[in-house]
């Protein structure tokens, strides 16, 4: 009579061999991926966000509902004709356009999103309709900020689509945002005001972490009064002018910024869209060179 051998014990000290681990050593790499950069630019009104975006190589604009700045600049001869989609009216329409940019037939190299604040609004409208029956009240979307929290998953999906475009189509992603002066909750002392993108905190946190560079554009302002050492030091100064455009690249108490690209803290952007792009492109190039050679 045949008998079935008892299974070998797997207790400590038994002769059963552990499963062989998969060898992942072939996946280890030391170099970079060579992917294009992901930028987020917020700036004061009239600084030239849209004009700068239009100067990137083979640019394609995707505009949110209500954003007509690009067409106004083209119509008035301030910018050359620039490829752009009509304003995205819905969140689903926005995602469908991103899918076309990823999979469609084209040779564009830069996707400019103007402006992310507007796309955030489309996202919130979509979530409010889908999950709260269009109820914006405290009993619906606004209640305990539930709607904003739920919408973060949808926002991540959009960022994932942008990453796919960057990876598969080798396109630079250049996001434009309106800025605002908001109160920063300072855990180490008194709160203070600073420039920050005009978005919900959770949405902006995801976007900032995703970006390779967060840039802030402002005009250099000359201030009269309140100088250090003045008997009246501490009083508010009076702005008396300033039309030099500056791009700030590192986080500061006065504004939100971030820099993974080795950019200098400040970049003077010149007096034209072309000069602004050349200044940024040169700074990015120099940052790459410094990173490769260990320079500062």
Best CA proximity match to 281, nearest among 213, 221, 219:
213
Does residue 268 contact residue 278 with C-beta atoms inside 8 Å? Answer: no
CA torsion, points 198, 204, 209, 215, in degrees to nearest 10? -10
Residue 233: predicted pLDDT: 39
Main-chain phi, psi angles of 203, to 5 degrees: -65, -45
Any idea where the domains of the chain sit in the sequence? 35-225+238-293
Residue 69: predicted pLDDT: 94
Pull the structure tokens for residue 18.
């552990």
Give the DSSP per-residue string, 75-119: HTTSS----BPPPB-SHHHHHHHHHHHHHSS----EEEEE-HHHH
Residue 53: predicted pLDDT: 98
3-state class (DSSP) for residue 205: helix
Q: What does the pLDDT profile of the chain (296 residues) look like in tens digits?
A: 555 555 554 555 556 666 667 888 888 877 667 899 999 999 999 999 999 999 999 999 999 999 999 999 999 999 999 999 999 999 999 999 999 999 999 999 999 999 999 999 999 999 999 999 999 999 999 999 999 999 999 999 999 999 999 999 999 999 999 999 988 878 887 888 999 999 999 999 999 999 999 999 999 876 665 544 343 434 445 445 568 999 999 999 999 999 999 999 999 999 999 999 999 999 999 999 887 665 54
Best CA proximity match to 243, nearest among 219, 267, 216, 275:
219
pTM of the model as a whole: 0.84
> Domain 35-225+238-293: what homologous superfamily?
P-loop containing nucleotide triphosphate hydrolases (3.40.50.300)
Residue 231: predicted pLDDT: 39
Residue 228: predicted pLDDT: 42
- The dihedral built from the CA positions of residue 108, 112, 213 and 78, taken in this order, carries a sign that is positive
């Amino acid at each position: 009579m045949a008998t079935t051998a008892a299974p070998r014990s797997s207790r400590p000290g038994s002769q059963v061999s552990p499963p062989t681990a998969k060898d992942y050593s072939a996946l280890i790499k030391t170099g970079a991926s060579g992917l294009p950069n992901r930028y987020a630019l917020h700036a004061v009104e009239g600084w030239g966000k849209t004009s700068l975006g239009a100067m990137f190589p083979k640019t394609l604009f995707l505009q949110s509902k209500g954003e007509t700045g690009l067409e106004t600049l083209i119509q008035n001869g301030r910018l050359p004709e620039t490829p752009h989609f009509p304003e995205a009216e819905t969140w689903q329409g926005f995602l469908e356009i991103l899918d076309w940019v990823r999979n469609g037939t084209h040779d564009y190299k830069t996707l400019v999103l103007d402006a992310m604040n507007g796309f955030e609004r489309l996202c919130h409208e979509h979530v409010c309709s889908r999950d709260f029956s269009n109820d914006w009240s405290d009993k619906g979307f606004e209640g305990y900020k539930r709607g904003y929290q739920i919408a973060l998953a949808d926002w991540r999906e959009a960022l994932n689509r942008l990453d796919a475009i960057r990876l598969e189509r080798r396109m630079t992603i250049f996001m434009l945002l309106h800025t605002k002066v908001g109160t920063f909750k300072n855990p180490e002392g008194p709160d203070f005001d600073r420039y920050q993108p005009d978005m919900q905190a959770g949405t902006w946190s995801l976007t900032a972490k995703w970006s390779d560079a967060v840039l802030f554009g402002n005009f250099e302002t000359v201030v009269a009064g309140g100088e250090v050492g003045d008997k009246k030091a501490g009083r508010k100064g009076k702005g008396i002018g300033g039309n030099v455009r500056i791009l700030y690249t590192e986080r500061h108490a006065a504004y939100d910024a971030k820099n993974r690209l080795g950019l200098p803290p400040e970049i003077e952007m010149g007096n034209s869209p072309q000069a602004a792009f050349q200044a940024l492109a040169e700074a990015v190039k120099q940052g790459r060179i410094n990173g490769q050679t260990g320079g500062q």
